[in-house]
């Protein structure tokens, strides 16, 4: 059996490739909104100076943002401030943040019961994004973190989020080969589809050392209004995978999955 140090090292060294170059026009819009939000209002000249961008480039962007209520422009002073639509989006984020706090409270209880790492995530394209994480009290720390994205095909959480996808939809989502992250990563979309649906009751999805060596994970989709809104998972070391422990993990996922789904429904969870 490998030492705990080697397990820790292997778990921490697994990572995804860096993201592609950001789309510069979109990034410019983001920087405009950030600059205005961080001030009491800015003129066109001030925005151009802060972004080191020509006024001629900024003018049509600002006009569009004003027309869509993301910015306001005072007629007399020509000072730009944050608009109603940006406030609505920010308020939605705060609302979801409050929901995530309530969900994390439940995840803390889950972790206290099984002494393992608990994750909540959503699907973004063909990746998962972690919304919440509660670490196990055990020494192993996985590579996941809140806000981090990982390939959906290599995680139990991702497989749960992909559960309702047909084989053709999976092929569209993963048009190329599935790059291996460990020697146990599923290599093809056809094999991925079979793996997603291997649970005889269609209740859970599984991952074993496909993204992190010596780690296993069991996940379940969380449905809101019959659609998969998120997924919940429990990760653990392969050496702890006794039948009794796995049975307890599934029980905890069922029990708290029901509670968290009700929270999402009553609090209008949206991501």
* Full set of structural domains in the chain with CATH: 24-88 (1.10.10.10), 97-267 (3.30.450.40)
| CA-closest candidate to residue 108, choices 130, 132, 128 | 132
Separation between Cα atoms, residue 264 and residue 146, nearest integer Å: 18
Per-residue pLDDT of the chain (271 residues; tens, 9 = 90+): 444 444 343 333 333 333 456 788 898 999 999 999 888 899 999 999 999 999 999 999 999 999 998 999 988 899 999 888 887 777 666 667 788 899 999 999 999 999 999 999 999 889 999 999 999 988 766 778 888 889 999 999 999 999 999 999 999 999 988 999 999 999 999 999 999 999 989 999 999 999 988 999 999 999 998 999 999 999 999 999 899 999 999 999 999 999 999 999 887 887 7
Contact in structure between 11 and 143 (CB atoms under 8 Å): yes
Exposure string (b/e) for 73-92, b if CB count within 10 Å is 16 or more? beeeeebbebbeebeeeeee
Helix H or strand E encompassing 104: helix 84-114
| CA-closest candidate to residue 208, choices 161, 156, 247, 246 | 156
Give the SS3 label for residue 40: coil
Q: C-alpha 10: how far from its chain's center? A: 22
């Amino acid at each position: 059996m490998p030492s705990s140090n080697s397990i820790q090292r292997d778990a921490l060294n697994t990572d995804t490739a860096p993201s592609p170059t950001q789309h510069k026009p979109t990034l410019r819009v983001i920087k405009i909104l950030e600059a205005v939000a961080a001030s009491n209002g800015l003129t066109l000249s001030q925005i151009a100076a802060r972004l080191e961008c020509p006024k001629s480039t900024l003018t049509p962007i600002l006009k569009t943002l004003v027309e869509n209520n993301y910015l306001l422009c005072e007629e007399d002073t020509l000072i730009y401030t944050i608009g109603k639509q940006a406030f609505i989006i920010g308020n939605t984020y705060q609302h979801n943040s409050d929901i995530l706090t309530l969900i994390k409270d439940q995840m803390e209880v889950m972790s206290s019961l099984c002494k393992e790492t608990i994750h909540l995530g959503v699907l973004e394209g063909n990746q998962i994004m972690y919304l919440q994480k509660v670490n196990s009290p055990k020494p192993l720390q996985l590579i996941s973190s809140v806000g981090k994205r990982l390939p959906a095909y290599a995680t139990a959480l991702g497989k749960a989020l992909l559960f309702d996808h047909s084989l053709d939809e999976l092929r569209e989502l993963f048009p190329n080969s599935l790059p291996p992250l460990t020697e146990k990563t599923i290599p093809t979309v056809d094999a991925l589809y079979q793996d997603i649906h291997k649970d005889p009751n269609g209740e859970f999805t599984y991952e074993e050392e496909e993204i992190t060596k010596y780690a296993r994970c069991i996940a379940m989709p969380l449905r809101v209004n019959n659609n998969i809104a998120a997924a919940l998972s429990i990760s653990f070391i392969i050496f702890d995978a006794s039948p009794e422990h796995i049975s307890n993990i599934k029980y905890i996922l069922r029990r708290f999955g029901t509670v968290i789904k009700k929270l999402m429904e009553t609090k209008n969870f949206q991501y």
